[in-house]
Amino acid sequence: SHGLSLPQEMTSFRISQPHTSFSFFHHSQYVPPTGTSHPFRGLAQKQLLYCRVGIGYHLQILPNGNIGGVHEPTEYCWLKVFSMQWGVVGIKGLKSNLYLCMSSAGIAWGSEHFMAECLFREDMEEDHYTTYASASHPGLYLALSHNGQAKRGNTVQKENPCAHFLPRLQT
């Protein structure tokens, strides 16, 4: 097995929303894409997401569902990033066991249950940093403020350094 355990209810279902449709599949059916895929993506990776804003912060998902950043990584910073579809990922806190989600108001939070709001479009930008945009609510970006607080996704453009993350794999 690949170290990724998806909830039983995620093994085969479809979420449809206006202008958006995602197909989910059992993880054993996953075939990694070839060509210009994200360089850090396989089935799942244990990693940190480092945001270059301010003094630099590692994204964390706390047990109470709060999202934020800390300069020195804690156990709540270790994340499992897993592919759901070409260019679409889910992110789960390994210690908190919560999925990263974003509401239509651009608020990031941790959820015990995986849902459409937990899907993010992962894009590598020209500066080689990665952005995570809500797949359910286009135009909303995951971002951290200069003091490590989660920013509302509707106040951020993808060009802003606060939305730029660098995946750091476990060594």
Q: What is the DSSP letter of 152?
A: P
Residue 93's pLDDT band, with cuts at 50, 70 and 90, is very high
Alpha carbon separation from 75 to 26, 61, 65, 79, 119 (Å, rounded):
28, 10, 15, 9, 23
C-alpha span between 171 and 160 (Å, rounded): 29
The domain segmentation of the chain, as residue ranges, is 45-169
Share of the chain above pLDDT 70, in %: 74
Checking if the pLDDT of 160 tops 80, the result is yes
Higher pLDDT, 25 or 121: 121
Checking if the pLDDT of 123 tops 90, the result is yes
3-class DSSP state for residue 88?
A: strand
Q: Which long-range contacts (CB under 8 A, 24 or more apart) does 93-99 make?
A: 93/60, 93/61, 93/62, 94/46, 95/63, 96/61, 96/62, 96/63, 98/61, 98/63, 98/65
Class of the CATH domain delimited by 45-169: mainly beta
Checking if the pLDDT of 145 tops 70, the result is yes
Angle made by CA atoms 6, 87, 83, in degrees to the nearest 5: 15
What's the confidence (pLDDT) of residue 2? 38
Checking if the pLDDT of 163 tops 50, the result is yes
Mean pLDDT score, 128-153: 97
What's the confidence (pLDDT) of residue 11? 37
Alpha carbon separation from 144 to 35, 115, 120, 158, 160 (Å, rounded):
31, 22, 16, 12, 10
Q: Model's pTM, two decimal places? A: 0.75
Checking if the pLDDT of 167 tops 60, the result is yes
What's the confidence (pLDDT) of residue 127? 87
What's the confidence (pLDDT) of residue 171? 66
What's the confidence (pLDDT) of residue 36? 38
Residue 170's pLDDT band, with cuts at 50, 70 and 90, is confident
- Within 8 A by CB and 6+ apart from 34, the residues are none
C-alpha span between 82 and 29 (Å, rounded): 13
Checking if the pLDDT of 80 tops 90, the result is yes
Mean pLDDT rounded to a whole number for the chain: 81
User: For 32-72, what is each residue's pLDDT tens digit?
Assistant: 333 334 444 455 679 999 999 999 999 999 999 999 999 99
